[in-house]
Amino acid sequence: MTARLLFLLALLATVPAAAQDQEAVRAKAQVCAACHGPDGNAVSPEYPNLAGQTWRYLYVQLKDFNEGRRSNPLMSPMAANLSREDMMALANFYAAQPLKPSAFKVDETKAKAGKAKADETLCTMCHLGGFMGQNEIPRVAGQNYEYIVLQLKAFKARTRTNDAGTMTSVAQTLNDTDIENLGNYLTGLRP
């Protein structure tokens, strides 16, 4: 009986701390909201949706911005002063947010061609079936069309290289039409 009572008291003591931690993370995330939205659903399509992304991918990207392996005029200074704990907390916060469906009007003909290209290049070997991502491999299902196109072009131009070479290599096989088709296909995959 005493052990059960102590367990319940200990459990009750952690609830306010967890709520405070969540509020602290939400406060830290406010600076991200201008681009990524308050819930990780981006306010503009050239920014990535963070909601529903794998926490490990988000953490690795923040770390790459923080340590200079990935560069962006907006993100690099934002990540420069984040601690490891900040990056982990923000990654977990956004991973737990639900991804909202995209308002992008998918061209079904281009999406069909994008699926064929994705099958040909074996994209699901890394991104998994449904393109839900895993560990440090991003979820791309339902991601913003403009962001997908920008990132594929950046890998192709080798201006984004924090991928251990896999995406840079795959992107070399894509032309502008392939990239447009893949963007339509991936954006159209609903969460």
User: Please, what is the angle between helix 2-29 and helix 84-95, to 10°?
Assistant: 90
1 annotated as belonging to a binding site for a ligand: no
75 assigned to a ligand binding site: yes
Contacting residues for 167 by C-beta, under 8 A, at least 6 apart: 155, 160
Is 88 marked within a binding site? no
- In whole angstroms, how large is the CA radius of gyration of the chain? 19
Spatial distance between the Cα atoms of 184 and 122, rounded to a whole number of angstroms = 17
Annotated binding residue 78: no
127 is in an annotated binding site: yes
Which residues lie below 8 Å from residue 26, measured CB to CB, with a gap of 6+? 93
Alpha-carbon distance values, 33 to 44, 67, 89, 90 (Å): 11, 22, 15, 12
Which residues carry a binding-site annotation? 32, 35-36, 75, 123, 126-127, 167
Which residues carry a binding-site annotation for heme c? 32, 35-36, 75, 123, 126-127, 167
